[in-house]
Chain A
Amino acid sequence: NAGVTQTPKFQVLKTGQSMTLQCAQDMNHNSMYWYRQDPGMGLRLIYYSASEGTTDKGEVPNGYNVSRLNKREFSLRLESAAPSQTSVYFCASRTGRLFFGSGTQLSVL
């Protein structure tokens, strides 16, 4: 029972570098989400995809792009990483309730 799988678990980047966070779910869910979690801020929605082929901005989309590659996969890309993007990133999918991945801890130096 894999559920929601995120890779990598940890990543350190230098300012200006790019990277893609991968997320896949095996529950046949239509809706997928990317959140970031910062101390004292709770979870903030970056982007979401209500169904395959659609994506929408959340609360904090600046500096990020997403791709809903197919029903299973929803990736998050940082084109030019900044220290303000140091955070823990969670992918989630849902049908009623949310199922979360285990998170990616990203540090941008």
Chain B
Amino acid sequence: GNSVTQMEGPVTLSEEAFLTINCTYTATGYPSLFWYVQYPGEGLQLLLKATKADDKGSNKGFEATYRKETTSFHLEKGSVQVSDSAVYFCALSDRGRGSTLGRLYFGRGTQLTVWP
């Protein structure tokens, strides 16, 4: 079956530090991969995505590369800011049946706290 495993938190960093949050997946077929971010008291927002192997998704200084050979989609940022403090979720989407969209499978989330 489909599943996503991401590193457990919490992750605590100082401002301008390098961030990596690991994510690996198990899937049949060729899923799309996503990172979502949830700020306190809000719903999840799409941060970035990649739809095929070797694609790199990027947004707001965050990057993740779809690695089919290692079934991974690690999130990275070169220099984090206090405003990046949030919970980050890795997710995959299967292809669904016919013209319908598939389901999304989420990891458990990683809490990131950035101190000034």
Contacts of B96 in A (CB 8 A): 50
Is B31 positioned at the interface, with any CB of A under 8 Å from its CB? no
Task: Determine whether B89 belongs to the interface, using a CB cutoff of 8 Å to chain A.
Answer: yes
- Picked from B46, B97, B107, B109, the residue with its CB within 8 Å of the CB of A97 is B46
Min C-beta distance of B84 to chain A, whole Å: 19
Given contacts A94-B101, A97-B34, whether A102 and B106 have CB atoms under 8 Å apart is: no
**A42–B101 CA distance with the chains assembled, in angstroms:** 21
A32-74 interface bits toward B, Cβ cutoff 8 Å, 1 = contact, 0 = none: 0101000011111100101100000010000000000000000
What A residues does B89 contact at CB under 8 A?
42-43
* B43 adjacent to A30 (CB under 8 Å): no
Closest CB of chain A to B20's CB: distance in Å?
A: 19
Closest to B101 in A: A31
How many B residues, CB 8 Å from partner? Answer: 19
B103 at the interface (CB under 8 A from A): yes
Q: Which of A41, A50, A58, A102 contacts B101 (CB 8 A)?
A: A50
Could you tell me if B43 and A90 are in contact, using CB atoms closer than 8 angstroms? yes
CB atoms of A103 and B100 under 8 A apart:
no
Alpha-carbon gap, A64 to B44, bound state (A): 22
- Residue among B34, B46, B104 facing the most chain A CB atoms (10 A cut-off): B104
Chain A proximity of B111: nearest CB distance (Å): 10
**B residues neighboring A (CB under 8 Å):** 34, 36, 42-46, 49, 89, 96-97, 100-101, 103-104, 106-109
The 4 closest A-B pairs by CB, nearest first: A100-B43, A42-B108, A50-B100, A43-B106
A-B contact pairs, 26 of them (CB 8 A): A30-B100, A30-B101, A31-B100, A31-B101, A33-B104, A35-B106, A40-B108, A41-B108, A42-B89, A42-B106, A42-B107, A43-B89, A44-B106, A45-B103, A45-B104, A50-B100, A50-B101, A92-B43, A92-B44, A94-B101, A98-B34, A98-B104, A100-B44, A101-B43, A102-B42, A102-B43
